Amino acid sequence: MQLDQLPLGQSARVGAVNWHAIPSVEAHRLRSLGLEEGVLVEALHRGILFFRDPMAVRVGRMTIALRSKVAAAITCSVIEA
Amino acid sequence: MSKLPPLVALVGNPNSGKSALFNALTGARQKIGNYPGVTVERKIGRWNLADGSIAELADLPGAYSLTPDSLDEQVTRNVVLGQQTGQRRPDALVVVVDAANLDNHLRFTLELIEMGLPVIVALNMFDLAQRDGLSIDPDILSAELGVPVVATVAVRKRGLDTLSQAVAKILAQPHILLKILEAPLEANRGALTKQAHHIAKKAVISETATRQWTRILDGILLHPVAGVFFLFAILFIMFQAVFAWSEAPIGWIESGFALLSDQVSAVTPDNWVRSLINDGIIAGVGAVVVFLPQILILFLFILLLESTGYMTRAAFVMDRMMAAVGLSGHSFIPLLSSFACAIPGIMATRTIMDQKDRLTTILIAPLMTCSARLPVYTVIIGAFIPEQFIGPGIGLKGFVLFGLYVLGIVGAMVAALIIRRSVAKGASGSFLIEMPRYQLPRLRDILLGLWQRAYLFLRRAGTIIFVSTIILWALLSFPKAPEGSGMTQADYSIAGRIAEGVEVVVRPIGFNKEIALALIPAMAAREVAVSALATTYAIDDNGDEDAVAKSLGERLSSKWSLATALAFLAWFVFAPQCISTIAVTRRETNGWKWPIFMVTYLFAMAYAAAGITYWTAVAFGLG
């Protein structure tokens, strides 16, 4: 499942990231914020008014905000509670 | 030559509580400036160490790694490597780490330790980590990292003495740099990340899940609908407060200056000296200092939004709307700061990663209604808009002011849309930001921030505005109009003759000669327009006993039509009347191309807006 499709409140582990689909500056910042292969994520908030963008994701103990377009390049597998 | 005190640098991730630690360690003994050639803020303070010695403490910009992807990170990297012009290499580093975010912050710490400088880790916000259910052992962490680790709570001043002892101890030891400093290879980062996770796992003794405040608050503040209402409510309250709360202090300042003016009249003979002091200096500088309360209220809100952690939430809420004009939520923070002053706003754009987003944000930042416009707006609104209530607690004056802010925002959005599709064309921007935990703001940090703003404003009033007021007074007072010439002093003076030239250009949009006159020195700073008008009319009315007692507002309302007043307001929404902003734009964009573009398009917009306002008002019979 792609991260942008992850239901709110659902935890998942990041499997693969298609780094080529993300501009290099953003890719570097994404790694700096700890969002890379193998980490646990949880979808927290998504969208404003009737839009679905941006989304807030918990990464480790941090919360980061990103756009769906970038989240779509991140593949993750749902962890059953 | 006396020996310089050792230099210690505070380094750490953004949101690690680094600045709070800096404030706690140095108190008010800080100097704020810029690194030469770049607009990155350079904060240096004096730190009295535990052993009685003194160290210089530098607060470096927050960074995620030594591989920079913003101007801020570039400076941090260069300082640590000893490659930053105007800054010697630090003798030791205090690496500030958010205890609740070890996983992520330790990687940067490991990068820094690799550099070979003496390092001490401040395990900051230790109390918040405990509240989050994390139990960390600093000793294990210290053993794993091979450097001293001190648990600190900067905002409660806990652990500061221990930190100071550790730093004093490390500085007392002779240190030989074993290797030549160079930045770590990007290829190593995977290994460093693994190592960081491994160490964090060891140092965290236990971890229990707790229901966090941040999650509850985010549920409301990032709610797709409620979040938007909350943000707009905050902004509305902020702008109402600027007017409502400032009324009383403005009154005190006004009466203070009036008293001063009377005192001067009592002790000076009635000649040009009294005129210089009363009509020039006191009328000019006083007309500007009066706005200190409003500027401080505005900054109070911005500092509160920043220190509570809400500012990044506001960026989240605004991101989709900003995307509609080709920008992102990142631009919201610099643009909101620009409501106080475009200069810090333009400087804050350096955190925007996308260069075209950044350029666009710089170009539209002057359209946000900065605090220097407030004096102009307040005087005109005060003189021409009647005291009425259009709803419970909503005054017409406040509403008009709100409208002027909205006009600036709409203008900025239209400008961004066009700029992003023409001169700064490119892929849509990005939005990627860390949202820190919510925190209660610390009174001390807020007061320190406010004091720094007040100081900068008063220094401006004391220098640029003081000097331009005196020059204007001289240009207006000489040569003296001969008796019975039928010309007013302002018309006859040198300034009056210069203004005649400008007036030809601005007459079609309803501006009179006094306005033309005020626009010239207002290039130094917008608020000078008010002091210039005050000085012009004070000199003009000299000798007329009734008129002298009048306030500037009363004078204006008897001399200007409503159409002129409204056109004047519209002009100031757009006009790039501020040399400092132009200068900072030049520095941030490395050349004259963009500042010239900015000035041209903004003057064109100002002229058009003032013209349309004037002609419409005249058509409705308000001329």
Residue B156 has pLDDT above 80, yes or no: yes
Interface contact A49, partner B, CB < 8 A: yes
- In terms of Cα–Cα distance, which of B501, B503, B479 is closest to B490? B479
Per the model's pLDDT, the better-predicted residue between B35 and B616 turns out to be B616
pLDDT of residue B103: 83
At residue B283 the predicted structure's pLDDT band, cuts being 50, 70 and 90, is: confident
Give the residue carrying structure tokens 């610099």.
B334
- What's the pLDDT score for residue B612? 96
Q: What is the pLDDT of residue B178?
A: 60
End-to-end C-alpha distance for chain A, whole angstroms: 17
* CB contact A81 to B (< 8 Å): no
Assign B426 to helix, strand or coil: coil
Question: ipTM of the assembly?
Answer: 0.95
pLDDT at B502 over 60: yes
As a whole number, mean pLDDT of residues B493-521 equals 87
Report pLDDT for B184: 60
| CA dihedral sign, ordered B158, B161, B163, B166 | negative
Calpha distance B107→B199 (Å, rounded):
10
Give the span between the Cα atoms of B257 and B282, in whole angstroms.
7
What per-residue confidence (pLDDT) applies to B550?
Answer: 63
- Other beta carbons less than 10 A from residue B550's beta carbon: 16
| pLDDT of amino acid B382 | 87
Residue B357 token pair: 């987003």
| Contacting residues of A for B427, CB less than 8 Å apart | 23
Q: What is the pLDDT of residue B596?
A: 95
| Per-residue H/E/C for B72-92 | HHHHHHHHHHCCCCCCCCCCE
Q: Is the pLDDT score of B109 beyond 90?
A: yes
Question: Per residue in B338-385, pLDDT tens?
Answer: 887 787 788 788 778 788 899 999 999 999 988 788 888 988 998 898
Average pLDDT of B246-250? 84
Q: Is the pLDDT of residue B1 over 50?
A: no
Do residues B431 and B330 touch, judged by C-beta distance below 8 A? yes
What pLDDT is recorded for position B317?
Answer: 93
- Condensed to tens digits (0 to 9), the pLDDT of residues B446-492 reads 898 888 878 877 776 677 767 777 787 788 777 877 777 667 777 78
> For the ranges B193-202, B386-395, B560-569, which has the lowest average pLDDT?
B386-395
Q: Which of A13, A46, A67 is best to mutate for the B interface (most B CBs within 10 A)?
A: A67
Q: What is the mean pLDDT of residues B519-544?
A: 76
Tokens of B137: 């052992």
- Mean pLDDT over all residues of chain B? 84
Asked if pLDDT for residue B187 goes beyond 70, the answer is no
Task: List helix spans (H) across B210-341.
Answer: 213-221, 226-244, 247-267, 272-275, 283-289, 292-308, 310-323, 332-337
Q: B570 touching A, CB under 8 A?
A: no
With cut-offs at 50, 70 and 90, classify the pLDDT of residue B167.
Answer: very high
pLDDT of the residue at B379: 87
Confidence at residue B210, expressed as pLDDT on a 0 to 100 scale: 60
Report, as an integer, the average pLDDT of A54-64: 89
Residue A42 has pLDDT above 90, yes or no: yes
CA distance B130 to B76: 30
Residue B313: which pLDDT band, with cuts at 50, 70 and 90? very high
Q: How far, in Å, CA of B366 to CA of B362, rounded?
A: 8
pLDDT at B607: 95
pLDDT tens-digit series, residues B46-83: 999 988 899 999 999 889 888 887 778 888 999 988 88
| The pLDDT of residue B622 | 78
Name the B residues in 81-110 with CB < 8 Å from any A CB: 100-101, 103-104
d(CA B571, CA B163): 54
pLDDT at residue B445, as a whole number: 84
pLDDT at B542 over 70: no
**CB within 8 Å of B268: residues ≥ 6 apart:** B274, B277
Report pLDDT for B475: 82
Give the pLDDT of residue B521.
77
Q: Quick count: other Cβ atoms within 10 Å of Cβ B182?
A: 12
DSSP strand pairing (B30-34 vs A62-66): unpaired
pLDDT tens per residue, range B126-151: 888 888 788 899 999 999 999 999 99
- Per-residue model confidence (pLDDT) at position B279: 75
Q: How close, in Å, is residue B561 to chain A by CA atoms?
A: 44
Across the interface, whether the CB atoms of A56 and B103 are under 8 A apart is answered no
DSSP secondary structure letters along A12-59: EEEEEE-GGGS-HHHHHHHHHTT-STT-EEEEEEE-STT----EEEEE
Predicted local confidence at residue B561, as pLDDT: 92
Q: Does A30 touch chain B (CB under 8 A)?
A: yes
